């Protein structure tokens, strides 16, 4: 893939991909990270025969992958070689952040969730981070139990290749709720953004109107889920309590943001007396604390839509490059629309991710100083 430095679609050697999906090929690869009790449970309870994948992203369905990058007989995203050939090399990726979506994030048993989140993080470390120096990862946490989630964040964060805490969009509660604050406190203290990825643990219907019949309805409804959770984080006062916290909405779509900001600001002006800790307009809070990955871009005129959004939001610092590899929705090698002004493309591709992920910026600085 050639690139043209005059064109906004320029793909540079310092591109940072903020949403890559490695898939656990089978539960058997996690067994070596389980203690003797859980190894026994793995066979006694036949966990090893289960896929343990999140059903909001049906990994075994051929449709869950772009057909041009599907590998016959393999789960999409299960091969590092394929990820290298399909995206890391062609995009000339400097850093790629792995967001492993796994059923552990949705398990009802807190103990089982904690054990499998830990196993997933160790598997990612050994099979991905150790094998490609460009890769970084998000920490998969059992948000079902904030105390266990904090333990897992602290355990992984000693390895600086873990650059973010990963939460599922729709879990057991709205994300601003105070019992989850230990997670945000820990993330802020360790300089880790909290990434919220599309998907549901299906404790509740993924639409606010009831259970849908089709994946089509489920996927389209995700952007409404992001609106709900963003409003919850703002209203409950998460950003007032944790002034250095950054939240990254991953695979959220983008175009809902302009309407949301208008509605959130206007309503806040009318009834802000009930949330006295929200002392600034929601749009201001979003500009300071919230970032969004770009793929899949939910607009036909991608470049124009992004520029309009920058105008509406009043900032060009909110959007982060992502490929969303290997999901079928993403735009393949056109992940960043052509026609973007080069300055905006550079902000989305490199500057904004570096400003968001402190650990990446540190690595760049260390390398420059060496
Ligand atoms: Zn994604």
Ligand 1 centroid – CA 191 distance (Å): 22
Residues with CB under 5 A from ligand 1 (ion): 19, 251, 324
Residue 84 lies in a domain: yes
Count the Cβ atoms, other than its own, within 10 Å of residue 61. Answer: 12
For residues 277 and 181, is the Cβ–Cβ distance under 8 A? no
b/e string for 255-277 if b means 16 or more Cβ within 10 A? Answer: bbbbebbeebeeebeeebeeeee
Tens of pLDDT, residue by residue over 100-140, are: 999 999 999 999 999 999 999 999 999 999 999 999 999 99
Residue 181 lies in a domain: yes
Ligand 1 centroid – CA 250 distance (Å): 6
pLDDT at 3 over 80: no
Mean pLDDT for 226-254 is 97
CA angle 257, 260, 265 (to 5 degrees): 125
The per-residue pLDDT for 216 is 87
Residue 123 lies in a domain: yes
pLDDT at 186 over 90: yes
Ligand 1 centroid – CA 251 distance (Å): 5
pLDDT at 92 over 70: yes
What is d(CA 198, CA 251) in angstroms, rounded to the nearest whole number? 6
Indicate the pLDDT class of residue 8, thresholds 50, 70 and 90. very low
Residue 6 lies in a domain: no
Residue 222 lies in a domain: yes
Ligand 1 centroid – CA 198 distance (Å): 7
Ligand 1 centroid – CA 24 distance (Å): 15
Ligand 1 centroid – CA 39 distance (Å): 30
For the entire predicted model, the pTM comes to: 0.94
Indicate the pLDDT class of residue 368, thresholds 50, 70 and 90. confident
What is d(CA 317, CA 306) in angstroms, rounded to the nearest whole number? 12
What is d(CA 19, CA 15) in angstroms, rounded to the nearest whole number? 12
pLDDT at 22 over 60: yes
Ligand 1 centroid – CA 282 distance (Å): 25
pLDDT at 63 over 80: no
pLDDT at 331 over 80: no
Ligand 1 centroid – CA 369 distance (Å): 33
Tens of pLDDT, residue by residue over 275-298, are: 999 999 999 999 999 999 998 888
The per-residue pLDDT for 67 is 76
Count the Cβ atoms, other than its own, within 10 Å of residue 37. Answer: 10
The per-residue pLDDT for 5 is 37
Ligand 1 centroid – CA 67 distance (Å): 17
Ligand 1 centroid – CA 35 distance (Å): 30
Q: Name the domain count of the chain.
A: 1
Ligand 1 centroid – CA 113 distance (Å): 21
The per-residue pLDDT for 2 is 39
pLDDT at 367 over 70: yes
Residue 3 lies in a domain: no
Asked if omega into 167 is within 30° of 0 (cis), the reply is no
Ligand 1 centroid – CA 19 distance (Å): 5
Choose from 16-30, 68-82, 151-165, 305-319 the range with maximum mean pLDDT: 151-165
Ligand 1 centroid – CA 199 distance (Å): 9
Residue 7 lies in a domain: no
The parent domain of residue 112 ranges over 12-369
What is the token pair recorded at 182?
């230990």
pLDDT at 57 over 80: no
Ligand 1 centroid – CA 21 distance (Å): 7
Ligand 1 centroid – CA 296 distance (Å): 8
Tens of pLDDT, residue by residue over 147-159, are: 999 999 999 999 9
CATH of the domain at 162: 3.20.20.140
What is d(CA 323, CA 343) in angstroms, rounded to the nearest whole number? 19
Ligand 1 centroid – CA 315 distance (Å): 23
Ligand 1 centroid – CA 96 distance (Å): 12
The per-residue pLDDT for 10 is 44
Ligand 1 centroid – CA 367 distance (Å): 29
b/e string for 193-216 if b means 16 or more Cβ within 10 A? Answer: bbbbbbbbbeeeebbeeeeeeeee
- In this predicted structure, which of 1-15, 247-261, 314-328 has the lowest mean pLDDT? 1-15
Indicate the pLDDT class of residue 338, thresholds 50, 70 and 90. confident
Residue 1 lies in a domain: no
Q: At what angle do helices 302-313 and 256-271 cross, to 10 degrees?
A: 20
CA angle 222, 219, 90 (to 5 degrees): 100
């Amino acid at each position: 893939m050639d690139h043209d430095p005059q064109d906004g679609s320029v793909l540079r050697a310092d591109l940072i991909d903020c949403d890559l999906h490695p898939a656990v090929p089978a539960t058997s690869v996690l067994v070596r990270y389980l203690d003797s009790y859980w190894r026994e449970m793995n066979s006694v309870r036949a966990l090893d025969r289960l896929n343990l994948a999140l059903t909001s992203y049906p990994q075994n369905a051929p449709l869950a992958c772009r057909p041009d990058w599907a590998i016959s007989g393999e789960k999409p995203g299960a091969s590092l070689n394929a990820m290298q050939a399909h995206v890391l090399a062609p995009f000339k990726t400097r850093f790629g952040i792995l967001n492993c979506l796994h059923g552990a994030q949705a398990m009802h048993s807190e103990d089982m969730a904690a054990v499998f989140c830990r196993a997933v993080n160790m598997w990612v470390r050994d099979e991905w981070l150790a094998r490609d120096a460009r890769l970084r990862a998000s920490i998969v946490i059992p948000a079902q139990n904030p105390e266990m989630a904090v333990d897992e964040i602290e355990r992984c964060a000693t390895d600086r290749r873990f650059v973010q805490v990963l939460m599922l969009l729709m879990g057991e509660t709205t994300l601003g709720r105070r019992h989850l604050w230990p997670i945000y406190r820990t993330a802020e203290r360790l300089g880790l953004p909290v990434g919220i990825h599309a998907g549901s643990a299906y404790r509740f219907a993924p639409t606010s109107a009831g259970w849908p019949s089709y994946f089509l309805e489920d996927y389209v409804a995700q952007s409404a889920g992001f609106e709900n959770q963003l409003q919850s984080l703002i209203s409950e006062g998460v950003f007032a309590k944790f002034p250095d916290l950054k939240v990254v909405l991953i695979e959220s779509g983008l175009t809902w943001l302009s309407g949301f900001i208008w509605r959130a600001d206007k309503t806040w002006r009318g009834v802000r007396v009930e949330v006295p800790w929200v002392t600034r307009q929601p749009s201001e809070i979003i500009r300071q604390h919230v970032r969004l990955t770009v793929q899949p871009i939910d607009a036909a005129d991608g470049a124009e839509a992004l520029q309009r959004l920058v105008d509406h939001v009043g900032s060009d610092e909110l959007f982060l490059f992502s490929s969303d590899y290997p999901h079928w929705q993403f735009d393949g090698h056109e992940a960043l629309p052509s026609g973007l002004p080069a300055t905006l493309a550079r902000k989305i591709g490199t500057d904004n991710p570096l400003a968001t992920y402190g650990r990446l910026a540190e690595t760049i600085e260390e390398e420059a100083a060496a």
